[in-house]
Structure 1
Amino acid sequence: MDIARTIRSLPKGLTCSVIFTSLLLVALLIINQPLQTGSAPQGIVSYQLAATADHSLAILRSWRGDAMVWAHASLWLDFLLVPAYVFTLLLVTNHLMRDRPGVRERNVARWVKALFVGAGIGDLLENILLLNNLNPPTDSLSLSATLCALTKFTGLMLGAAGLVIIRAARRHPLAHE
């Protein structure tokens, strides 16, 4: 299938939302580069998943100087990314459901949307917890942020799997209008 034709067939709102969300994601990936250290090989993701105060402190110590500025920038920019990706994923779900009249597909779509919204809420809570955990880190904030991060990642993965199920349910391609 021709990718350019596929992109042209998408609704303008969805296309703009995908582009905006992609730009924010690329910006976060660039910001994450100086945060990758021996203690945080995945940068900010390592900090998100540091479930103890000791692990969080080791990561923060590895982010000396300018890296802390990048850590703050990453967490604050993520507050903008969260509504962008949730909105985009909801638009994608609606788009993939446009020729799916079945009750089962509609129920799956409701669950998929709930998973995406839940992932966004988990991400926002995680960001708040991580900002509060910068100085000094505590076990309760570190563990809470990790649980929120795991909620986010789980919601995104299960939601994406739900989108695959929605598309595979009738075994025919998305009808072009």
Structure 2
Amino acid sequence: MNFLASKAQLRASFLRWSLFLVPLIVLLGFLSGRFGSPDTVWFDSLTKPSIFPPTAAFGIVWGILFAMIGFAVALVASAWGAFGRPLALVVFAVHFPITLAWTPVFFGAQNMQGGLIVIGAAIVTLLVVIAAFWRVRRSAGLLLVPYLGWLCFAGALNYMFIVENPDGGLTGDSGAAVEVVL
């Protein structure tokens, strides 16, 4: 039997998905941050690029972006029967761990080049996610545009850290990193 859901049913579905996905996305972002931190001797010793914002800005921006990401995914997840919905959710499930991997690679492993590769992959896969979400719910795709902008800024910032610190933050004659936190 085929039938269309009422507007009230669609809103209720979106609300349920939002109540699950927004906290989940925020929690995953928080947990990713536990695997690396800018509060290390290594990061403090790096020359900061001129475009480096105050450290507190990162937590605020990521908190807002993770909530927006959660709502975007909820819009797609609640679009039962929409063409492309399963593919959009799978593409997001592939993309999001890549984004979450940046903090452990850059801060945890203290690998700026690896971080740049990860963020490049995150940007490319996010473009695919935005296209897939756009086909399901245009508003879901639009909610991800600020996230794309921030990833591009973060990629530029990561690149600038490499330029400003060609030794990777290495010091002394031994070539060993100042501090390695795993």
Common fold by TM > 0.5? no
TM-score by length of 2: 0.41
Q: Which has more helix, going by share of residues?
A: 1
Structure number with greater CO (CA < 8 Å, separation at least 6) is 2
